[in-house]
Amino acid sequence: MATATRVLLIEDNPGDASLIRGHLELIHTRIFEVVHVTRLQDGINAARSQTFHVLLLDLHLPDSSGIDTVRRVQAELSDLPVVVLSGSDNENLAVEAITSGVQDYLVKGSADEKTIVRSIRYAMERKRLELELRKMNETLEQRVRSRTADLDQSVTALGQEILEHQRAERELQESKRQFDVMCDAMPMVFWMITGNLGQTVYVSRYYETLCGHSRDEWYVNPMSWLDAMHADDRKSVQVAMHRWVFGGGWREEPALLLTYRIIRPDGKTLALRCRLFAVVEEQQFRYVCGLTEEAPSAKTTAALAGSTAGVPEVAARTAGDEFAARPAVMLDAQGRIVELSPQAEKTLGSAAKDLIGQNIRDLIEQRASGWGRLFHRANSTAKTSHLSEP
């Protein structure tokens, strides 16, 4: 048996109400169940307590009149399809009613059973589509709100990431200033390259004094120091370094000592000694650090003993007011710190009493690991290694 279409008829004229009922009873293809009330408020109450498929609404009722009747229905029963019944063929009123949200408009006396049924069917279909569209819009709005919230979270996270990156950059620059002070105080080269030997992180200024080459060459090509090496020493150094870095030798031997000769641009052959050590983070080999100095001969060692001849030029010329005004460090012949300027204390973040007597080599090795970790956070991308398999 077909389901009946429940119709709520709000009509205060008994004759018009009977006429509507009579038209609907003539339809045999569809069953209509009509509930009739004469006042708008009674109709609203009925619709709240019962289920109806469509509302047939007279505009002029004892408790409401004209377009206000439509507005009250839309405010109270917004999900119910509405067909307005009017005794006036007023086109302006019909347009206003449709604009206010009703689905159709019929003139009493001119609508037969087929017209009424067609209007009811169209009104129900239009309202169904309207409700579906409203639901889709609500879903879309919810998605937009959700995506907006996600975007806000992403923007916040990005902001925090930028702040963290800026903080890491500041720490890196401050750490670099500390290294510059320490490295400029000693007659040896401190350098740091990435664990795959593909990127130069730091080269102290003394490299140019000792080897006669520009530091820019080393920053462009991390393995350029091999080019200056004496041909008879190059292969053995390359093999030893390759085994220590890539063969895992750093796990068993934390430091690697290399001795080799270089040929300076002025043609002078110089014997060097280089001590390599690894910066390890989370059991990963991150950086190779090195301390390179001229290999001491027996004659040089005797001359340096008990004297200040080994104090580097950069420290020796920082006497008096100049020493106090800049971040300077004075070393003895064995590389121990004997004096620091106030600026050096501030830059290194330690009091003079805690640093005097320490060997500058040990201090650099201690702080190199921390600086390597800072650099790894600030810039973790390294280039492809330039050290080929020997």
pLDDT in tens, 288-347: 888 898 886 633 433 333 333 333 333 333 344 555 555 666 767 666 788 777 777 776
For a pLDDT cut of 90, what percent of the chain falls above it? 24
- Is the domain spanning 185-378 CATH 3.30.450.20? The answer is yes
pLDDT in tens, 34-85: 999 999 999 999 999 999 999 999 988 999 988 899 999 999 998 999 999 8
pLDDT of residue 56: 94
Q: Do domains 5-135 and 185-378 have the same CATH topology?
A: no
Q: Tokens representing 131?
A: 């409700």
Say which CATH topology domain 5-135 has.
Rossmann fold (3.40.50)
**At residue 11, does pLDDT exceed 90?**
yes
As a whole number, mean pLDDT of residues 348-352 equals 75
**Percentage of residues in the chain with pLDDT exceeding 70?**
78
**Of residues 112 and 11, more confidently modeled:** 11
Alpha-carbon gap, residue 339 to 197, rounded angstroms: 36
- What is the structure's pLDDT at 309? 38
Domain ranges of the chain: 5-135, 185-378
Decide if pLDDT at 284 tops 70. yes
Among 119-128, 213-222, 324-333, 342-351, the range scoring the smallest mean pLDDT is 324-333
* Per-residue pLDDT at 206 exceeds 80: yes
Q: Is the pLDDT of residue 96 over 80?
A: yes
pLDDT for residue 388 = 34
Does 127 score more than 50 pLDDT?
Answer: yes
Q: Which pair of structure tokens corresponds to residue 224?
A: 């350029």
Average pLDDT over residues 220-236: 89
Say which residue, 333 or 31, is predicted with more confidence: 31
Q: Is the dihedral of CA 36, 39, 40, 43 positive or negative?
A: negative
Mean pLDDT confidence for 346-370:
73
Confirm if 40 and 56 have CB atoms less than 8 A apart: no
Angle between helices 113-184 and 360-378 in degrees, nearest 10: 170
Choice among 211-220, 284-293, 378-387 with the minimum mean pLDDT: 378-387
Q: How far apart are CA 352 and CA 282, in angstroms?
A: 33
